[in-house]
Amino acid sequence: MKDYAIFFASSSAIRAACPYPEHLRDMGPMAAPYDTMHLVLLEVVLHMWKLFSGLKLVSTKNDEDDIMPRATVAMIGRELRGARRKVPMAKARSLRSIDVHIKSFKAADWLHFILCSGKVLLAGRIPDSYFKIFLLLSRACRLLFRPRGATKAKIQKIDKDIKYFVANYCAKIYRGAAERLPLCLSTIASLLDIVPLLWACSPAWVV
**CA–CA dist 122, 131 (Å, integer):** 7
Question: At 151, is the pLDDT very low, low, confident or very high (cuts 50, 70, 90)?
Answer: confident
pLDDT in tens, 35-94: 788 889 999 999 999 989 887 777 655 556 778 888 998 898 888 888 777 666 665 566
Averaged pLDDT of the chain: 80
- The model carries a pTM of 0.75
| Confidence (pLDDT) at 89 | 60
Model confidence at 205, pLDDT cuts 50, 70, 90, reads: low
* Domains of the chain by residue range: 12-201
CB-based contact 165:187 (threshold 8 Å): no
Tell which wins on pLDDT, 129 or 36: 129
- The C-alpha atoms of residue 189 and residue 166 are separated, in whole angstroms, by 7
How far apart are alpha carbons 115 and 133 in whole angstroms? 14
Cα–Cα distance for residue pair 61/63, rounded to 1 Å: 6
- Residue 91's pLDDT is 57
Average pLDDT over residues 165-190: 90
